[in-house]
Amino acid sequence: MENSNSILAVKNLTKIYGQEPNKVVALDHVDLDLAAGEIVMLMGPSGSGKTTLLQLLGGLEPPTEGKIKVRDGEWQEFYREPEVSHYRRDMIGFVFQFFNLISALTAEENIALPLILAGQPKKKITTLTEEMLHLVGLSERSKHRPRELSGGQQQRVAIARALIHNPAILLADEPTGNLDSRNSIDILELFLNMRDKLGQSILIVTHDPYVATYGDRVVLFRDGRIVDEYSADQIVGENRSERSLYIMERLQSISNEPRSK
Ligand SMILES: Nc1ncnc2c1ncn2[C@@H]1O[C@H](COP(=O)(O)OP(=O)(O)OP(=O)(O)O)[C@@H](O)[C@H]1O
Ligand SMILES: [Mg+2]
């Protein structure tokens, strides 16, 4: 699984919550290699460990076990404080299902927040914020507060905020889970567009097989493990609807298999 274009790789990534007898193995020796500019869709039943994987990759939770490799660096133990804060700041952007915007702040203030908190110079903040507003198509909505924006627009603000510090990786946990199908497609087009313009890798958790057809790769999860994985050209179908049916069938077949432990 060595990949010369790798931006982030993990191996043996394991997360155990709690102690016996309430121990939960949320991630069970996961190996994953994310290429620069790649869009990966993560799917799997509820409780299979998708959110946990994002939290570990994003440095929000420490793993129980596992190694990490950034770009062409060496394999090393996972980052701990204080390195993990630098890793988060330099490498990672997060997008969530419920947007997580600050309701008292305008669109542009929400987008600028990471730079304000990082103490960046005002001029730089203004320039970058305008650029991001433009990229997500919300220049006309810069003074609106979240409740004055549609769900799709709020998610655009959240994506601009996640990308303003130019992270190498965007982690998105069910980013279209709270949107109708039209808005979901717009958000996926935006992700593709951002990847083409800014070049970051994007890892998207989704339950929606149609959403998954937008990935370069679809990774299927079960019981904290990767059980199957398809590159876009392995997904059979003439069009998006057919390919989403194919993904749905793969997903159903892994959900129905007897437990391996
Ligand atoms: N903080 C925690 N403490 C204890 N157990 C946890 C914690 N967070 C997650 N878990 C457990 O770890 C397992 C994986 O949870 P996770 O949230 O990663 O699943 P998921 O695949 O994101 O599910 P969903 O599709 O429902 O969002 C579940 O069994 C869950 O109950
Ligand atoms: Mg989840």
For a mutational test of ligand 1's pocket, the pick from 48, 97, 206, 259, i.e. the residue with the most ligand atoms closer than 8 A to its C-beta, is: 48
Instruction: List pLDDT tens digits, range 19-49.
Output: 989 999 999 999 999 999 999 999 999 999 9
- What is d(CA 38, CA 49) in angstroms, rounded to the nearest whole number? 21
For residue 3 the two structure tokens come to 């990949």
On the question of pLDDT at 255 being above 90, the answer is no
Residue whose C-alpha is closest to residue 197's, from 230, 223, 170, 236: 170
Q: Say what the pLDDT of residue 2 is.
A: 56
Q: Say what the pLDDT of residue 120 is.
A: 95
Confidence bin at 257 (pLDDT 50/70/90): confident
Q: Say what the pLDDT of residue 259 is.
A: 67
Q: Say what the pLDDT of residue 3 is.
A: 62
Q: What is the whole-number distance in angstroms between the Cα of residue 73 and the centre of ligand 1? A: 30
SS in 3 state form for 99-165?
A: CCCCCCCCHHHHHHHHHHHCCCCHHHHHHHHHHHHHHCCCHHHCCCCHHHCCHHHHHHHHHHHHHCC
Q: In the beta sheet, which residues pair with residue 41?
A: 204, 218
How much helix, strand and coil, in percent to the nearest 5, is found in the chain? 40, 25, 35
Confidence bin at 106 (pLDDT 50/70/90): very high
Q: What percent of the chain has pLDDT over 70?
A: 98
Confidence bin at 6 (pLDDT 50/70/90): very high
Whether ligand 1 lies within 6 angstroms of the CB of 49 is answered as yes
- What is d(CA 129, CA 117) in angstroms, rounded to the nearest whole number? 14
Q: What is the whole-number distance in angstroms between the Cα of residue 178 and the centre of ligand 2? A: 13
When pLDDT is averaged across residues 229-236 and rounded to a whole number, the result is 97
Q: Say what the pLDDT of residue 81 is.
A: 86
Confidence bin at 211 (pLDDT 50/70/90): very high
Q: Say what the pLDDT of residue 60 is.
A: 94
For residue 93 the two structure tokens come to 């952007």
Quickly list DSSP for 7-63: EEEEEEEEEEES-TTS-EEEEEEEEEEEETT-EEEEE-STTSSHHHHHHHHTTSS--
For residue 168 the two structure tokens come to 């190498």
Whether ligand 1 lies within 6 angstroms of the CB of 256 is answered as no
Q: What is the mean pLDDT of the chain?
A: 95
3-class state of residue 74 by DSSP: coil
Q: Which atom of ligand 1 is nearest to the CA of 221?
A: 21
Burial of 153 (0-12, 13-18, 19+ CB in 10 A): buried
On the question of pLDDT at 1 being above 70, the answer is no
Look at ligand 1, atom 3, and give the residue with the nearest C-alpha. 17
Q: CB-hemisphere CA count at 13 Å for 54?
A: 24
Residue whose C-alpha is closest to residue 40's, from 243, 155, 195, 186: 195
- What is d(CA 202, CA 181) in angstroms, rounded to the nearest whole number? 20
Q: Say what the pLDDT of residue 256 is.
A: 82
Instruction: List pLDDT tens digits, range 152-204.
Output: 999 999 999 999 999 999 999 999 999 999 999 999 999 999 999 999 999 99
Domains and CATH numbers, the chain: 6-256 (3.40.50.300)
